[in-house]
Each structure stands twice: as C-alpha cells, then as structure tokens.
Copies of this chain bind each other. A is one copy, B any other.
Amino acid sequence: MATDVPSKWNTPLTSEQFPSIKRGRYSHLTKTDIKHLSQIVDGRVCTSGKELDKANVDWLSMYRGRSLLLLKPKTTSEVCRILKYCHGQNLAVVPQGGNTSLAGGSVPVFDEVIISLKLMNKIISFNNLSGALVCEAGCTLQSLMDFLDKEGYSMPYRIGPKETCQIGGNMSTNCGGMHVVRYGTRHSAILGLEVVLADGSVLDLLTTMKKDNTGYHLKHLFLGAEGTLGIITKVSIECPVKSPSQHMLFLGVPSFKHVQNIFKKAKFDLGEILSAVEVFDETVMKLINKNLSLPNPLSRKTAFYMILATAGSNTRHDAEKLESFLSKLKKEGAILDGLQESRPEKMQQHLWSYREKIAVALKYEGVCYKYDITLPHDQFYQVVEELQTLLLPQPPVMVCYGHFAEGDAHLNIVTPHLKAELQGKIENFLYNWVKSLNGSISSEHGLGIQRRDQIIFSKSLKAVEMMRKVKEVFDPQSILNPYKVLPSKLDAKKRLPFLSRL
C-alpha cells in the first residue's frame, strides 16, 4: 500500500480544492529559515525532488500541498529545536508518520514545513513481564509486530497499511482496526506518550504504568488529535501475550437480522476468545469475484458474509467452542454455508484477503466516495437501503462493510466519474442521518481536512468550542497542522456552511 510515488501533477492542489480555506497568517519560509532548520537536523532535509513531492501528497492522491521543506529529525531534542524555532518565527508545520491517513491529515495544505518522524524508529525498551513496550514514534507497525513476536507478545491492534504506517501516526489518528472487540481501543492499550508541544517544550507522559491517577489524564487528548495539539515522539503501549490458538470463520448469512444474531451469539458462546467480527454484503463479494478474480470461497451466494476471528490459549478448547457455535447457527438457519480455518498461512493469505482487498476491488469501478461512520447495530445496514431509495431511479453501486462489533461501517459509493451534485446529495442525507442516530461521522479515519467542517454532525457546538479552547492551550499560535480537525471558524448562532468544497 502507498508505495508508488504519486505524480504531483495528477492530484489537484488542496488549496484549489478548498478555495474557502485561506492561508493563515504564518511567515513565509526564508533561506535563513531553511539554513537554520537544516543545521538542527544535520542536513537531513529535502527542498526539492521526489521525496518532497511524495511527502506533499497523501497516499490516496486526494490532497496536495506545496511545502518547500521536509525535515527528518532523529531525536526528540531535534524535534524540540525545530518547533521552538518555528514557533518563534511563526512558521506552520505538519507532522508526518507513514502518510497513510485517510482524511488528508498528514500532508500540508499550503506551505507548512513537513516534519517526518520516520528516522525516529528505535525500540527503547520492552518489559517481558508487564508487556510494556516503549518505542519512538516512527516505528512501523509491522516492525513492532515482528519484534514482539520473538518475545511471545503481540500488538493489541492490526490495521491495513502495517508495513508503512507508524505508531505515532496510529496514536494520532486513533484508528481502531480489526481487533477492538478483543483488545479495546487505543485508549486502553496506551500507557504513555512523550509529546513535543508547539513551543518546543517536552510534555513527558511516558509512564509504563497501567494505573496512574495523578491529575488529569492528558495523554488521551493526543489520541485522535492528528498532530494538532503536539507531536508524539515516543509511545509506551501495553502488549498482550501472543495467542497460540487462532481461528477464523467465513460465513454465508441469509439476512441482516441474522448478522445481528450471530454477533450476539458470538459474544456469549465464544466470549473471551472472540477477536474480530467483520461483515460485508453481496455487492462486495460480486466486485471481489469480478475485479480480483477471487472466487466466492463458499459454495453458494448469500446476502451477507461475515468473518469472525478468535484468539485463545488452547487450540482444542477454541475448536470445541467454534464447533458448538457453528452447529447452533446451522440449526437455526443463521448461516447457509461456512468455512473454518486455523492454518495461519491460509487465514492470512486467503480469508483475510477478502476483507483487506475490498478497497482495491472497488477501485476498478470508478470514483469511490468513502465514508467511515459508526451507527447503532440496528441501523448499520439500513443506511444502504435509505440511500438507494434516495438515489432512485438509478442508484450507483453501493457497498457496506466494516467492523460490525463496534458498529463501524465503511460505506462506499462508486460512480464512473466524479459528480459533485451526487456527492452533495449523498452527504447531505448521510451526515444528517448519522447525527439523528447519535452516531459518528468518522469512526476511525479521523477528520483531517476532509471532514473537519462536518464535525458538528457528531459533536455539539459546545464540545467544539471546548476543543477549540484546548487547542489554544496547547498551540496558542496554531502552528501545528493547521486547517485540520477543527473548522476555521465556528459561528455558534449559524450552522456552518455545509460542504463548502462542492
């Protein structure tokens, strides 16, 4: 994922896509600035060329900034000195991890200085008893998974771009991924953070303690803040022991009512070993079959497909639980067909690929509007039905898949060409609908620049007001990742102009 260098000419400039967003009153980078900043990082800079071009564009090639400077610090102290200087000179910056953000959060909008954390990739310590791992923010998820594997431990989350994404970015976007049902969200796993604040000072919250009730729990503010409150430089995370017993089920399910029942039964019958509950609809399966030449692994077509994963300590016990669970489901007609798999390579290469390649299968169909919403379990799929009715007589291709256990729906609508009017119609319905159900308009992808103006569909004006005040505390000049997460202006008396981009 995200390995090809996107052509800097294919992606329109973000500033042209969002003409309503004006450049903040930041200084313009001078030769003196570049010289000074280059010295801080001992020459680890780019002022032109492919590396800078790539860092200016997000991996989905949706957003493009025009930063003139990419800095690659190796230590917290270098990050401090960079920010102290930028703060003093009123230069805006954007922190960048693996640049796999799905909401344009990790690339500049105008000419912000890019601070890449990729050279800060050391594992600092691991405690084999508590499972506490301390590492620098630039470690890739895959490198940490490999390290822990040798220690008999594992990471408490797994997300798609694991070879590229970095732990600092994972924390900053607070993406949940597949195994939240078993290991909880980042908020439960994270033990501590080291953060460099906008003025270059260090906020050391890098404890390895699971329990610590001394004052306000500040670290949680940085989870999901997408680098707008500080730059995470070190992370301390509690890692669970590796489960020696892993199983997967791939189920063909006749109706959405049955999807709900299967989830509930799984909570009770598989209990402590249940690790992931994924769902996708028949349209997804058709597109996978057609565009990736991957045949349906089941012998018949069904309206929905579910992938359940388990992680336990005893293979025989887990297999028994799964057998009893499956036999109940069959008896009740909750599944029409199913596969059970416990061979690691088959799980990885075969079954998970149906889930992980959905985005690729969709790409073949045209332009894809991607939404990542949390909905109550009852309304999880109703969104598709409502939208299809709304867009009659010719609804576009529409698929819904996601992390069902958490109500996290990845809704994708595909059309041959970009149609602003269609997008407006969809989003006007969708965000209001999510709001009416007290759901989330960004379940795990974050707001970035893409959905910052839509925050009011998930948060009250009072909440946004308090966020804005918190931002002022941590970054009074607003030099950190500007134009992201929070809307530029908030007029409490007037609803924000909706979809100003269109």
- Residues on B with beta carbons closer than 8 Å to the beta carbon of A173: 213
Asked if A209 lies at the interface with its beta carbon under 8 angstroms from chain B, I say: yes
| CB nearest neighbor in B for A375 | B209
Asked if A202 lies at the interface with its beta carbon under 8 angstroms from chain B, I say: yes
Q: Report Cα–Cα, A407/B217, bound state, in Å.
A: 18
Are the CB atoms of A213 and B440 closer together than 8 Å? yes
Asked if A268 lies at the interface with its beta carbon under 8 angstroms from chain B, I say: yes
Q: Report Cα–Cα, A474/B473, bound state, in Å.
A: 11
Asked if A477 lies at the interface with its beta carbon under 8 angstroms from chain B, I say: no
A26-34, A179-187, A329-337, A388-396: which one contacts chain B? A179-187
State the oligomeric state as a number of copies.
Answer: 2
Q: Chain B nearest CB: distance from A75 CB in Å? A: 18
Within 8 A of B (CB), among A309-325: 311-314, 317, 320-321
A83-91, A278-286, A461-469: which one contacts chain B? A461-469
Q: Report Cα–Cα, A254/B486, bound state, in Å.
A: 57
Within 8 A of B (CB), among A458-489: 458-460, 462-464, 466-467, 469-471, 473-474, 485-486
Q: Report Cα–Cα, A459/B213, bound state, in Å.
A: 10
Asked if A363 lies at the interface with its beta carbon under 8 angstroms from chain B, I say: no
- Residues on B with beta carbons closer than 8 Å to the beta carbon of A443: 209, 211-213
Within 8 A of B (CB), among A170-222: 173-176, 180, 184-185, 187-188, 197, 201-205, 207-218, 220-221
Asked if A264 lies at the interface with its beta carbon under 8 angstroms from chain B, I say: yes
Are the CB atoms of B211 and A408 closer together than 8 Å? yes
| CB nearest neighbor in B for A268 | B241
Q: Which of B152, B376, B447 is the one whose CB lies under 8 Å from A127?
A: B376
Are the CB atoms of B455 and A211 closer together than 8 Å? no
Within 8 A of B (CB), among A115-168: 127-131, 152
4 more CB-based (< 8 A) A-B contacts, given A152-B268, A212-B374, A215-B447: A129-B378, A214-B455, A220-B220, A241-B267
With known contacts A243-B271, A377-B129, A473-B469, A213–B313 Cβ distance under 8 A: no
| CB nearest neighbor in B for A153 | B267
Q: Which of B129, B215, B317, B406 is the one whose CB lies under 8 Å from A264?
A: B129
Are the CB atoms of B374 and A209 closer together than 8 Å? yes
Asked if A77 lies at the interface with its beta carbon under 8 angstroms from chain B, I say: no
Are the CB atoms of A311 and B214 closer together than 8 Å? no
Q: Which of B197, B218, B272, B313 is the one whose CB lies under 8 Å from A268?
A: B313
Asked if A368 lies at the interface with its beta carbon under 8 angstroms from chain B, I say: no
Within 8 A of B (CB), among A391-409: 403, 405-408
Asked if A169 lies at the interface with its beta carbon under 8 angstroms from chain B, I say: no
Asked if A341 lies at the interface with its beta carbon under 8 angstroms from chain B, I say: no
Q: Report Cα–Cα, A441/B209, bound state, in Å.
A: 11
Query: What are 7 contact pairs spanning A and B, CB under 8 A?
Result: A152-B268, A173-B213, A185-B188, A208-B376, A209-B443, A216-B467, A241-B267
| CB nearest neighbor in B for A212 | B440
A39-47, A223-231, A297-305: which one contacts chain B? A223-231
Are the CB atoms of A272 and B313 closer together than 8 Å? yes
Are the CB atoms of B215 and A467 closer together than 8 Å? yes
Are the CB atoms of B203 and A462 closer together than 8 Å? yes
Q: Report Cα–Cα, A464/B203, bound state, in Å.
A: 10
Are the CB atoms of A216 and B211 closer together than 8 Å? no
State the 6 A-B residue pairs at the shortest beta-carbon distance, nearest first: A188-B188, A271-B313, A220-B220, A212-B440, A184-B188, A214-B458
Are the CB atoms of A241 and B271 closer together than 8 Å? yes
- Residues on B with beta carbons closer than 8 Å to the beta carbon of A8: none
Are the CB atoms of A217 and B223 closer together than 8 Å? yes
Q: Which of B213, B217, B321, B376 is the one whose CB lies under 8 Å from A444?
A: B213
Residue interface bits A251-272, CB-to-B below 8 A is 1, else 0: 0000000001001100111111
